[in-house]
Structure 1
Amino acid sequence: MRNAQLKMRMILVGTILFALYFGAALVLASMFPGIGLVPILLLALVVLPVAQYKIGKWLTLRGAEPLPEDRQYQHIHQMTESLSEDMGLEKPKLMIKDMGVPNAFATGRKGAGVVCVSPQLVQLLDRDELEGVIAHELAHLNNRDTVMMVLGQSVGLIVSYAVFFLLRDDNNFFVAYAASIAAQMLTLIFVMAISRYREYVADADAKRYTGNGEPLARALEKISRGAEQGEAKMNDSASALCILSVDRSALKRIFATHPPTEKRLQRLRE
């Protein structure tokens, strides 16, 4: 990871998320005293995070297929291999998935990552624009921020469950439910602190490795316009990882996982 500020943010947010997760484990342990604290902590702090990561990755890639290495997609494999070599990465697995709109995302960890593109994206973008998108997704793997995103969303669910069961009884079900939603949103705020900034960093890395930010800027503009003409077929996990969020609902704008596209374009073209 080259960006020290992103690294520090990830360490800080990771520490906060771990503390929340640990607190949730203690709450659950107090509710099942017969099992014992140590087994529950081991389950909550070791088994569940690994399971959540695996399930989160599976859900994100559900419906995706390996990108063929035939003539139609050969250039994507070639540019990915070249960029991966420049970044000091192992070439990730390339996959293709119908997302309903032009988009792309990366998931997994460095050394075992996956870059997934939609057929709409491949058809829409010129070669240099597609290279900018691939470089952006490889930067996420190089910065190891994809793992934080997948686990961060899962921690929010666990914390919300713990708050709900802690407060639930026959008289205050709705209070417990509201508190659980508030706890999940609080957790997501910490995740968003990473999510928005990591997009700026990946844009900057893509600009550096491709030598020009203009192709990626044009790609973002085309993706934004293309999203208005189609209907997205992505779950929340995949949408948060995509190069451009296409959800325009009022709530999603408030809790946006991506910075404003206009600001990204401005930085790329500076």
Structure 2
Amino acid sequence: MGRDTHLNRRILLTLALLLVVDLAVVATAAYLLTPWLAPLRDAVAAALPFGGLSAQVAWWLAVLLPALSLFVWGQLRYTRARTLNKVDAREVSQREYPDLSERVHRLAQLADMKPPTIAVADSAVPNSFAVGTIGSATLVVSDGLLETLSGDELDAVLAHELMHVKNRDATVMTLASFLPALTNGEHGLLDDMLPGERGSKLVVGALAVCGAYLLSARIMAAPVGSLGFTLGFVVLAGITVVLGGVLLGVFTAPVVVLSRSLSKYREYAADRSAALLTGDPAALVTALETLDSEVAVTPETDKRHAYEGVRGLCFLAGGFRTGTETDRFHVETRSHPPTADRIDRLRSVESAS
């Protein structure tokens, strides 16, 4: 019970601090976008009966709080969808994978929790992970995992992922994945948000720029359409983009620290909880030993599986690829404990049971 309480405190503290970082991101974005958001704020302020305080209250009611809620919700939904897409995972039905579904549902019932959605990744690398959103979760296993493990060993790995879901650390780590992945360039956020092919995206982007251009008339002294107005708009937009990029890196730093602090501890906790749930720590030990050796030799060259953001969520830290090729800037947000240390702890659980 003491260990569970300690984990819950870590998860809640990490979540609280992540929300503080998100609020800082939203507040900074709102400040940078003030020239364009001011009409919305002023319209809300005019309808409020707070006198001189109306503008400040409106800023929170009309911009910051709704934006924070939408930002958190969007991060979870977007990160889940993007992660599943990057590892080529698809949700599967009980009819397609009856044995896998039976195992997950049986273990979830044993853990007294709602069974998560099940997805299978098209990868020969044996691995698994769980991603969480508000009120739901998805457990992902690779084809390689299902081909490599069976019986009690497969149950042990599935129980490990279910413990991440039950402890809510899957949701917290999913939330923590967003800003670092955005900084790394792993999320093509604008490309994903804009609909259609390249031509239609350019049209939507051009319309957005035109809208911002016209809204800038509130703060520009020069007439709309004049050279001075256009140059002022370009300078203002450039400062907003550059400063926003710098601040994004600044805000990412505490997220990296928070997620790395939670990452190692959550793996130990999920290992221990899975061993107690199945009553067979030895099965998880042999699964770790088998998968650790398999990941080292499994050929995997498909670039779709080189998604860095999923690595720390996985049962083993290698993700769904082998090799360490990377020639671009990367912020590592998670720190898996060594497999040997996980095995030693599990053997302690086994000897104590």
Which category describes the TM-score, using the shorter chain as reference length?
0.7 to 0.9
1:123 to 147, 150, 154: 147
Q: Does the 8 A contact of 2:89 with 2:119 survive in 1?
A: yes
Q: Does the 8 A contact of 1:109 with 1:141 survive in 2?
A: no
2:266 alignment partner, SS class: helix
**Which 5+ residue runs of structure 1 have no aligned equivalent?**
161-167
**Which 5+ residue runs of structure 2 have no aligned equivalent?**
42-58, 185-237, 349-353
Q: Aligned equivalents of 1:176 and 1:24: distance in 2?
A: 9
Which deviates the most, 211-220 or 19-28?
A: 19-28
Per the TM alignment, residue 89 of structure 1 is displaced from its structure 2 partner at its CA by 1.2
Counterparts of residues 1-270 of structure 1 (less than 5 Å): 3-34=4-35, 35=37, 36=41, 37-38=59-60, 39-62=62-85, 63-67=88-92, 69=94, 73-109=97-133, 112-156=136-180, 180-181=248-249, 183-229=251-297, 230-231=299-300, 233-246=305-318, 249=324, 256-270=334-348
Q: Does the 8 A contact of 1:109 with 1:144 survive in 2?
A: no
Q: Does the 8 A contact of 1:224 with 1:246 survive in 2?
A: no
Distance 1:190 1:111, change over 3 A: closer
Q: Aligned equivalents of 1:176 and 1:52: distance in 2?
A: 18
Per the TM alignment, residue 178 of structure 1 is displaced from its structure 2 partner at its CA by 6.8
Q: Does the 8 A contact of 2:180 with 2:252 survive in 1?
A: yes
Corresponding residue pairs, total: 259
Q: Aligned equivalents of 1:47 and 1:196: distance in 2?
A: 29
- Code of the residue aligned with 2:340 in structure 1: it is E
Distance 1:109 1:31, change over 3 A: closer
Q: Does the 8 A contact of 2:183 with 2:249 survive in 1?
A: no
Which deviates the most, 243-252 or 193-202?
A: 243-252
Cα RMSD (Å): 3.1
Distance 1:115 1:145, change over 3 A: same
- Counterpart of 2:48 in structure 1 is none
User: Deviations along 1:36-94, whole A, 9 cap, x unmatched?
Assistant: 43333134311111111111110122222334545x94332222221111111122222
- Code of the residue aligned with 1:224 in structure 2: it is D
- Code of the residue aligned with 1:66 in structure 2: it is E
Q: Does the 8 A contact of 1:24 with 1:158 survive in 2?
A: no
Q: Which structure has the bigger radius of gyration?
A: 2
**Normalised TM-score (structure 2):** 0.65
Which deviates the most, 79-88 or 235-244?
A: 235-244
Q: Percent identity of the aligned residues?
A: 27
